[in-house]
A = this chain, B = another copy of it.
Amino acid sequence: MPLLNVADIRLPVDKYQLDGRCRSKYPIRQLLMRPEDIPEIRTLDLFQNMSDDTFKVLVRGAYVQNFPPQIDLVEEGDPADFLHIVVGGCVELYANWNGRDTTMAMVRPISTFILAATIKDGPYLMSARTVEKSRVVLLPSNDVRTAFEQDGVFARSVVNELANCYRSVVKNTKNLKLRTSLERLANYISRSQIRAGSLEFDLMMDKRRLASFLGMTPENLSRAIKALRPYGVMVDGARVTITNLEDLNQLARPDPLIDDFSV
């Protein structure tokens, strides 16, 4: 198994503090939830069926903030004070151990992250940082737990969301344990192709992060990309062009029980 990204990004930017005294050099753009932000998250699966009363409890104490790129939002091990919802930009979840680190997931709008820690009132298992300029809604974990206790509909939505998360991570584990790095890349591209609905699309993250996400080094990702050329995959910068989808899929052998995030 690879020792991943020992030299991964570790930027000299202070962790963003939410206690009012912001240690970042960037000002807090906004602390209170604007009315126009509300419908944005109300339509999330997680919130759309809950009662108005409970939803009010949730948004009453909510923050919305704009963060610049490369800001640490949470650090693994910290108590889960907020449920985070990415409503704009992109947030990377990563983890580290013993000086090594690895990208666990990329969170794009509109999604929550680390719901489980909030519910369990446990420590975060992953760190999170913005990749680009991002807009994040922060719901105090206490309020989420209160809402969850008093609103059965919300509780059921949480169950559904958690079940989805669980199944995603299981699929990811299968991906990691059953496939070589080349196969993981091929499937990542195959999935991206399906999501894009086109034979031409952009990689959703820079290559260094993609490598880490796929469990390989950046150097090896470069080589793997070259190795996909005979299978009809052309990559120029972030731009991917599929010239032979059959060949790609014959190598990738996508499996709904690993690659289909809707089941």
| B-binding segment of A35-43, A117-125, A231-239 | A117-125
Within 8 A of B (CB), among A164-214: 164-167, 169-174, 176-181, 184
**Given the complex of chains A and B, what is the CA–CA distance between A181 and B149 in angstroms?**
42
Q: Per-position contact with B for A112-137: 1 when CB-CB < 8 Å, else 0? A: 00011101101101100000000000
Contact of A119 among B3, B160, B215 (CB under 8 A): B160
Whole-angstrom distance between the Cβ of A114 and the nearest chain B Cβ: 9
A9-17, A23-31, A49-57, A96-104 - interface stretch: A96-104
Name which of A95, A117, A149, A180 has the most chain B CB atoms within 10 A of its CB. A95
Pairwise interchain contact B176-A173, C-beta atoms closer than 8 A: yes
Is A7 interfacial (CB 8 A cutoff)? no
Which of A58-66, A82-90, A241-249, A253-261 lies at the interface with chain B? A253-261
Contact between chains at A1 and B119 (CB < 8 Å): no
Asked if A67 is an interface residue, CB under 8 A from chain B, the answer is no
Task: Kindly provide the distance from the CB of A212 to the nearest chain B CB, expressed in whole angstroms.
Answer: 8
Residue in B165, B176, B263 whose beta carbon sits within 8 Å of that of A122 in the complex: B263
Give A101's nearest chain B residue, CB to CB. Answer: B178
Per assembly, the copies of the chain total 2
Q: How far is the CA of A180 from the CA of B3 in the complex (A)?
A: 7
Residues of B within 8 A of A77 (CB): 257
A156: B residues at CB distance < 8 A = 148-149, 155
B178 adjacent to A176 (CB under 8 Å): no
Q: A263 to chain B: which residues have CB within 8 Å?
A: 122-123
Query: In the assembly, what is the distance between CA of A123 and CA of B115, in Å?
Result: 23
Q: Of all chain B residues, which has the CB nearest A178?
A: B97
Chain B min CB distance to A260 (Å): 10
- Residue A152 CB within 8 A of the other chain: yes
In the complex, which residues 208-226 of chain A have their Cβ closer than 8 Å to any Cβ of chain B?
215
A positions within 8 Å CB-CB of B: 1-4, 76-77, 95-98, 100-102, 104, 115-117, 119-120, 122-123, 125-126, 148-149, 152, 155-156, 158-160, 162-167, 169-174, 176-181, 184, 215, 253, 255, 257-258, 263
A–B pairs, 17, beta carbons within 8 Å:
A3-B180, A95-B174, A95-B177, A95-B257, A97-B178, A97-B255, A98-B255, A104-B177, A115-B163, A117-B167, A122-B167, A123-B257, A148-B159, A155-B156, A159-B159, A162-B162, A177-B215
